[in-house]
Structure 1
């Protein structure tokens, strides 16, 4: 039998329609226009002027328009080492402990490619950033899921995102002799939880006990509203196992720049760098240079404190409407996502959902309804859970507040329309 040359690989074939295309499809067809997009986590405004100036200046330099070293431009590696050394409580070696990647996502793919063999297991907490899963499976890894659980009264009153809890016994029972890595995300997308020092220490102790690499996704590390602990700072033993992931796009409001990095001990970073070299060789030169300048100048502009203050104000501004409607939400401790519980919203029984939405959990129906009837797009968080555990969040929606205040106000005005459906 002749094999079909156009048959796609299993890793990309047979996947059900993804949440992003469903939301975009609904938005385009909605009778309420223009759509207020509170779905995807991209910023609705530009980076500050000093960051844009750095990008403009970099484009005028010959060397910034050519290949960068595969491990990253020396200026950016040094800027990251200088910026993070005070947080880590030691001097980070920019040449041996930092590698630059094409966004945090490619950096994580490089970490998985650098360490996973066929059948190796990676523990991921639910809900998860959806890219983790394909990134683990492409090199042959197997994902092992451990869910986070919402507060018991999260459906009836507003609670802190920090109250979402991890069952440590369930985590330890998920560890086998094939467990190679654990993925941690703090501040967490989509929950907004900042893992406490005690929680991180318990996770770190398990990883030290079983010799498991920790991939600590800290891309929202400059947006925290409660004390924030970095996994790699817990102890020398934990640090030896930890790769810390960062994102220039998240830090400087420029998600399209695709500048990320990993910080970690040389015995781990060198294999991430080796995989990155084979995946994309090197990352965008002028935007690496601009990110370096942004780090160098951020403190002088008071940028870090201001960005945190502004984002917390956006969270508070947006969630006013849910306090008005008496809809409980998970008050984020970090990042720019808000999970809102819509169990009180009763959808019309005869509402005509298309089959690909009708077959999905209730949050997809809530999402579709809000887009079509109110003109507000959000993201259904069951997309970030396995089917087995999707019930945990089927009454919730995720909203991204990293938008201009006028957009937040427009969304609030439209969401007041939910009062007609609240019981």
Structure 2
């Protein structure tokens, strides 16, 4: 049997070695070993709607099974452009503005790899989706982390402004926010827009939970005055239609930014599953009643979980959006969030995620735990 040489010349690239195996994998193994209820991972426990699955089946049977165009099938890009117009009031050319990607995670990676250079600085609000720093590590751009903290996770605009310098290129904003469930206010987004315009920055908007808002309103950054030409809007199918395994996402950006995104996308995945692109058209054309029911059902789940957590002694930060809730576990006496989540999975039979993985400084998240509903 051949063996792998164990030398310092071979192994994970240094830029990614710092990330190692995620704690999510460990918690998932513990959950499986102890048959725990999984309230950790960010996917639903029910299937997507029949009308979308039927559209995928039809597309397969109709022979839509070969490579799609690199940018996405034209009909889907037109549908995305139409939805973007309804949301923002902006009329865009789908050939120049819309790129279909392998989920929103690839859209994030293609944006950062295609549009940053070594030494560029990217401001990342934390807690953050854990792919952000890994994608930035692939580019040799420099992340600058700005915490938003409980109980209200409000943006410190003065701190944001103070972080900007001549090397700053992007501000990354996730709203509604994973993991804290915050929906950024109009005032907060307008403050970000003012800073972006003043310093000639691009704002990357990760908006995969845009249809899952319980309180407040999701504001589309591209609709703000002066921001259409400096906003990259990233979305996906999976969260809104409970079809996370299809990995359909998209980026909407002005042509001068789309060019960079596509330059990376063509060498990452080139094309995205053709029948699923056809089915995504049916999904995006769903009646408003689908989205109303979707939000109502998740609101009921949120309320049930938040009440239950409060009843057993957690300090709960009720989310305004997404399907995640953060809670403070300190009254239970554990050293940190990882120890607490290991105990939950092995002794209580409930899997949750330790949020320290979402912070540059793990100490920022050690008192918290994230549940998914």
Please indicate the TM-score interval, normalised by the length of the shorter structure.
over 0.9
SS for the counterpart of 1:101 is strand
> Offset at 1:304?
1.1
Correspondence list, 1:412-423, <5 A: none
Q: Retained in 2: the 8 A contact 1:97–1:263? A: yes
> Offset at 1:16?
4.5
> Offset at 1:262?
0.8
Cα deviation, 1:245-285, whole Å, max 9, x if unaligned, reads: 00011121111101000112122112212221121111111
> Offset at 1:393?
2.8
1:341 aligns with 2:328: yes
Partner in structure 1 of residue 365 of structure 2: 393
> Offset at 1:21?
2.0
SS for the counterpart of 1:228 is coil
> CA distance change for structure 1 residues 223 and 70 in 2, over 3 Å: closer, same or farther?
same
> Residue 8 of structure 1 is aligned with which of 12, 18, 34?
12
SS for the counterpart of 2:263 is helix
Partner in structure 1 of residue 142 of structure 2: 142
SS for the counterpart of 1:307 is helix
> Offset at 1:7?
3.5
Q: Retained in 2: the 8 A contact 1:185–1:217? A: yes
CA distance in structure 2 between the aligned counterparts of 1:8 and 1:264, rounded to whole angstroms: 33
1:22 aligns with 2:26: yes
Cα deviation, 1:164-195, whole Å, max 9, x if unaligned, reads: 11221211121111111111000000000000
> Offset at 1:4?
5.6
1:93 aligns with 2:125: no
Q: Spell out structure 1 runs of 4+ moving beyond 6 A.
A: none
Partner in structure 1 of residue 244 of structure 2: 255
SS for the counterpart of 1:109 is helix
SS for the counterpart of 1:166 is coil
Q: Retained in 2: the 8 A contact 1:186–1:193? A: yes
Correspondence list, 1:349-364, <5 A: 362-364=336-338
CA distance in structure 2 between the aligned counterparts of 1:48 and 1:107, rounded to whole angstroms: 24
Partner in structure 2 of residue 170 of structure 1: 159
Partner in structure 1 of residue 269 of structure 2: 280
Partner in structure 2 of residue 102 of structure 1: 102
Q: How many residues align?
A: 366
CA distance in structure 1 between the aligned counterparts of 2:314 and 2:92, rounded to whole angstroms: 45
- Unaligned ranges ≥5, structure 2: 1-6
1:299 aligns with 2:287: yes
- Unaligned ranges ≥5, structure 1: 152-162, 348-360, 402-423
TM-score if structure 1 supplies the norm length? 0.83
> Offset at 1:53?
0.6
CA distance in structure 2 between the aligned counterparts of 1:219 and 1:206, rounded to whole angstroms: 24
Bigger CA drift: 315-324 or 142-151? 315-324
CA distance in structure 2 between the aligned counterparts of 1:380 and 1:14, rounded to whole angstroms: 18
Partner in structure 2 of residue 245 of structure 1: 234
Q: C-alpha root-mean-square deviation of aligned residues, in Å?
A: 1.5
> CA distance change for structure 1 residues 98 and 17 in 2, over 3 Å: closer, same or farther?
closer
SS for the counterpart of 1:100 is strand
Q: Which has the larger radius of gyration?
A: 1
Cα deviation, 1:272-313, whole Å, max 9, x if unaligned, reads: 1222112111111111111112112x117x211111111111
Partner in structure 2 of residue 366 of structure 1: 340
